[in-house]
Homo-oligomer: A and B are copies of this chain.
Amino acid sequence: MTVTDEDPVDRGVSPNSHDALRRALTMISGKWKLEILWLLYHRTHRFGELLKTIHGVSQHVLTKQLRELEADGLITRKIYAEVPPRVEYSMTDATRELEPTIQSLMLWWENHGSNTRGT
């Protein structure tokens, strides 16, 4: 320990780690992203399914969030060139490996976070 206020390395991370962290958080901080990922953890979903299942989200926003998740490599978008268009979204390896972290956060929340400002 002996953290002399000048020793940036002590937990095995670089000084700018919080910066990378912020980006990581941003990737999953969209209002519906967690719910989307959650559904995709179970199985592949079509756009319409997501729209129906996630109550309260509009196509516009859902599309946007999906696009962002895709750009961040968190989900895969597969388009079927059929007459009634069909698009399926599924998770990626990255998403799957993220799950333990999510679990970790959830556990923490249950222990410490849920009893503060309940706004």
Contact = CB atoms under 8 A, between A and B. Distances in A.
Contact of A42 (B3, B94, B105, B118): B3
Interface residues of A, number: 58
A1 B11 CA distance: 36
B25 A31 contact: no
Q: How many copies does the complex hold?
A: 2
A94 B115 CA distance: 11
A57 interface: no
A59 to B, nearest CB: 19
Interface of A: 1, 3-6, 9-13, 17-29, 31, 34-35, 38, 41-43, 53, 55, 71-73, 93-94, 97-106, 108-118
Given A1-B55, A23-B109, A73-B115, 10 more contacts: A6-B43, A11-B103, A18-B34, A21-B105, A23-B118, A25-B29, A72-B117, A94-B108, A97-B112, A105-B105
